[in-house]
Amino acid sequence: MRTEVSRAESEKFHEECGVFGIYAPGSDVTQLTYYALYALQHRGQESAGIAVSDGKVIRCEKGVGLVAEVFQETEKLEQLQGKAAVGHVRYARSNEELLINAQPLLVRYRNGHLAIVHNGNLINRYRLRSQLERKGSIFQAGTDSEVLAHLIAHSGEDEIIRAIKKSLLYLRGAYTYIVMTPEKMVGIRDPYGIRPLSLGKMANGYVLSSETCAFDTVGAEFVRDIEPGELIIIDKNGLQSERFAPPKRQALCVFEYIYFARPDSNIHGRNVHLVRKRLGRRLAQEHPVEADMVTGVPDSSLSAASGVAEQLGLPYEMGFVKNRYIGRTFIQPSPEIRALGVQLKLNAVRQIVEGKRVVMVDDSIVRGTTSMRIVKMLRHAGAKEVHVLVTSPPVVAPCYYGINTPARDELIAARMGVEEIRRAIDADYLGFLSEEGMLECLNLSKDGFCTACFNGRYPIALDDFALDKERRG
């Protein structure tokens, strides 16, 4: 027997981070941040960390793994006490050093300590690093948090808000930051609002979070989303809003709705499950296939699939069952065993799909390999026909704003038309949601979203330098 332990992988897009901040003197901000990170865990499972300020000193604990793993030794939490905290969960690209990139980043500069967490991707990161290095800066991780810390330290401004505002002028790309000084917490969202950041209120303070589901977890009330180009300052004087950039057209990443966010989160005030269900209804209107049943690929497509089922008047069935116990250290099957047709993570249920014309709803097709495999599973389980409906348009261009996408030539829709893809994944029918349809469901004008991955129209222009460096890492 040859055993190979491998990390669970997926060909899906990956959100790269979740951020959380709380300023609430008198509350147990550490434990609340710990719970909030559980709520945001789906946004990143590779590292987790919490930094806590007691008003004078900031302390930080972080590590590689799930929140539950990093804080397994409860002493780590007990050592952190204070009135404000920031937390972070991170998805890491496979070739990165996991530990060194874990956040929060805690630094000392001439005016004291800063803890920084971020979500997103600066497209001029390499240019900025290069400029900073020429000024004598050294980089340990090279993250966007470290870039911001250097800019603040070099800003020449003593007052932190002025220093931050001056630094933000250099940044191009998608970013949300939470910067914590011993006394203040600052929430920042880029001028296009590509990555989400919401504000919540508690009895004795405020919270900031990538997603509102963390508000429910900590008992906070949703106030509003941070606006693009807005900078929110929370301290003993309460809440203060400033702008660091003029309003641009909003360009929220549309995949937050389609795939990343937890269904109980609200984005721009709209519940993600309900939006997905509406996407499913619209998808079914655009592709009124004839079939016997509808099923979704767990877990992200379940909302959309029930929308499809309701629209088509078909029963929604559990065509797949997902094994919830397969963790990250899992012994991979040998080729011999794989040949037996073992179904480990996902099981297509014969008694449900056998002899049926099945509508299989998925949220996106990226490389196409997963779709291929899942269609095959359904056929193997006896499905008579497999109609694949996708709640997003074909993905033809990579993301440079913080989503881990494969290179352009690995995107199946960048190389093939719909009919070719259908044949490639061996579906009887393949229907994508139209971009138009998608945006109508989101009830917002086309300008409100970044849809670059569907049409190559990047809201923030990419220069050659960025693209080139991006590739070389």
Active site residues: 17
Residue 41 or 434: which CB sits closer to a second copy?
41
Residue 65 or 406: which CB sits closer to a second copy?
65
Residue 131 or 369: which CB sits closer to a second copy?
131
Query: Is residue 178 exposed (0-12), middle (13-18) or buried (19+ Cβ within 10 Å)?
Result: buried
* Interface of this chain with a second copy, residues 12 to 31, rule: CB under 8 A: 27-28, 30-31
Kindly state the DSSP code that residue 11 receives in the 8-state scheme. S
Site string for a second copy, 47-86 (x = CB under 8 A): ------------xx--x--xxx--xx-x--xx--x-----
Instruction: Select from 237, 246, 351, 461 the one that contacts a second copy (CB under 8 A).
Output: 351
Separation between Cα atoms, residue 37 and residue 58, nearest integer Å: 19
Q: How far is the CB of 419 from a second copy (least distance, A)?
A: 32
Would you say 389 and 359 are in contact if contact means Cβ atoms under 8 Å apart?
yes
Separation between Cα atoms, residue 361 and residue 375, nearest integer Å: 11
Would you say 220 and 207 are in contact if contact means Cβ atoms under 8 Å apart?
yes
Separation between Cα atoms, residue 104 and residue 86, nearest integer Å: 7
Instruction: Select from 88, 154, 165, 422 the one that contacts a second copy (CB under 8 A).
Output: 154
Q: How far is the CB of 109 from a second copy (least distance, A)?
A: 5
- Which residue in 225, 305, 336, 327 sits closest to 1, CA to CA? 336
Instruction: Select from 9, 94, 136, 419 the one that contacts a second copy (CB under 8 A).
Output: 136
Q: How far is the CB of 422 from a second copy (least distance, A)?
A: 27
Residue 211 or 362: which CB sits closer to a second copy?
211
Strand partners, 14: 404
Q: How far is the CB of 33 from a second copy (least distance, A)?
A: 11
Q: How far is the CB of 235 from a second copy (least distance, A)?
A: 22
Q: How far is the CB of 448 from a second copy (least distance, A)?
A: 19
* Interface of this chain with a second copy, residues 406 to 465, rule: CB under 8 A: none
Instruction: Select from 11, 12, 35, 418 the one that contacts a second copy (CB under 8 A).
Output: 35
Residue 71 or 255: which CB sits closer to a second copy?
71
At a CB cut-off of 8 Å and minimum separation 6, what does 451 contact? 254, 393, 435, 438, 439, 457
Residue 332 or 455: which CB sits closer to a second copy?
332
Instruction: Select from 13, 20, 23, 34 the one that contacts a second copy (CB under 8 A).
Output: 34
* Interface of this chain with a second copy, residues 94 to 133, rule: CB under 8 A: 97, 99-100, 105-110, 129-130, 133
Separation between Cα atoms, residue 33 and residue 89, nearest integer Å: 11
The dihedral built from the CA positions of residue 214, 220, 224 and 228, taken in this order, carries a sign that is: negative
Separation between Cα atoms, residue 228 and residue 40, nearest integer Å: 21
Should residue 341 be labelled a site residue for a second copy when binding is judged by CB under 8 A? yes
Site string for a second copy, 209-248 (x = CB under 8 A): ----x--xxxx-----------------------------
Separation between Cα atoms, residue 194 and residue 252, nearest integer Å: 4
* Interface of this chain with a second copy, residues 309 to 328, rule: CB under 8 A: 310, 315-318, 321, 323-327
Residue 167 or 176: which CB sits closer to a second copy?
167
How many positions of this chain bind a second copy (CB under 8 A)?
A: 98
* DSSP track, 169-185: TT--EEEEEEEE-SS-E
Count the Cβ atoms, other than its own, within 10 Å of residue 322. Answer: 12
β-sheet with 221-225: strand ranges across: 58-64, 47-53, 84-90, 17-23, 205-209, 198-202, 221-225
Crossing angle, helix 144-153 and helix 160-168, to 10 degrees? 120
* Interface of this chain with a second copy, residues 373 to 402, rule: CB under 8 A: none
413-429 b/e (C-beta count within 10 Å ≥ 16 → b): bbeeeeeebbebbebbb
Interior angle at CA 36, CA 117 and CA 149, nearest 5: 10
Residue 310 or 435: which CB sits closer to a second copy?
310
Residue 90 or 273: which CB sits closer to a second copy?
273
Would you say 404 and 14 are in contact if contact means Cβ atoms under 8 Å apart?
yes
Q: How far is the CB of 282 from a second copy (least distance, A)?
A: 15
Q: How far is the CB of 264 from a second copy (least distance, A)?
A: 4
* Interface of this chain with a second copy, residues 241 to 270, rule: CB under 8 A: 262-264, 266, 270
Instruction: Select from 12, 65, 142, 248 the one that contacts a second copy (CB under 8 A).
Output: 142
**Both structure tokens of 66:** 């799930």
Q: How far is the CB of 120 from a second copy (least distance, A)?
A: 20
Instruction: Select from 94, 158, 246, 340 the one that contacts a second copy (CB under 8 A).
Output: 340
Instruction: Select from 25, 241, 288, 331 the one that contacts a second copy (CB under 8 A).
Output: 331
* Interface of this chain with a second copy, residues 157 to 176, rule: CB under 8 A: none
Separation between Cα atoms, residue 208 and residue 185, nearest integer Å: 9
- Phi, psi dihedral angles at 121 (to 5 degrees): -155, 125
